Amino acid sequence: MNKTTTFTMIKPDAVINNYTGKIIDHVLNAGFSIQAMKYIWLTAEQAGSFYAVHAARPFYNDLVSYMSSGPIVAIVLEKENAVEDFRKTIGATDPQKAEPGTIRNLYAKSIEANAVHGSDSDENAQIEAGFFFSQFERF
Ligand code: CMP
């Protein structure tokens, strides 16, 4: 099977709580390799643009404030079946529903401050990786 790409962010709650190292270790132990990584503090405009797909959702404004409330770590990952396998590795969006041993089960605080983001499709993985890293931009 060919390797594919997914994109993740370690979110402000996890960075502030010093979970960055543990989460990266968990991801590497799950068989992913890092293609690009960046520590960055998003502006509200950048966070709003990244999550524009959710602009009509009731949680959008809170999500934008939260994602610009502290630094994040943006990471492009590679593995066979990367998108689906990474979503299994992180667990459900709501940490209360995340399987034991998943990253969100271990490190997330709430449905909003849920420790990590994971792309939901190959197409979105490319778009999201391109948002942070010019080498992944598709013209
Ligand atoms: P993420 O996988 O980054 O994609 C959208 C984010 O919106 C999600 O993780 C959560 O951080 C946030 N969010 C806040 N409230 C909700 C909700 N009720 N349903 C889904 N996502 C939510």
**Average pLDDT in the chain:** 97
Place of tokens 């909003």: 112
CATH C-level class of 3-136: alpha beta
At residue 74, the 3 state secondary structure works out as strand
User: What's the rounded Cα separation, in Å, for the pair 118 and 86?
Assistant: 7
Choosing from 59, 60, 65, 97 the residue with most ligand 1 atoms within 8 A of its CB, the one to mutate for a pocket test is 59
Positions annotated as catalytic residues are: 117
Q: What is the pLDDT of residue 1?
A: 78
Ligand 1 centroid – CA 63 distance (Å) = 7
Closest residue CA from atom 11 of ligand 1: 112
pLDDT in tens, 66-113: 999 999 999 999 999 999 999 999 999 999 999 999 999 999 999 999
For the cut 80, the answer to whether the pLDDT of residue 124 exceeds it is yes
Give this prediction's pTM: 0.96
Ligand 1 centroid – CA 1 distance (Å) = 31
Domain residue spans in the chain? 3-136
Characterize 87-97 residue by residue with b for buried, 16 or more Cβ atoms within 10 angstroms of its Cβ, and e for exposed.
bebbbbeebee
Place of tokens 């099977």: 1
For the cut 70, the answer to whether the pLDDT of residue 139 exceeds it is no
Q: Mean of the pLDDT values across residues 42-54?
A: 97
Ligand 1 centroid – CA 68 distance (Å) = 14
Closest residue CA from atom 4 of ligand 1: 117
Alpha helices in the chain (DSSP H): 12-16, 20-29, 44-50, 60-67, 82-90, 103-107, 122-132
Q: Ligand 1: residues within 6 Å at CB?
A: 54, 59, 63, 93, 111-112, 114, 117
For the cut 90, the answer to whether the pLDDT of residue 138 exceeds it is no
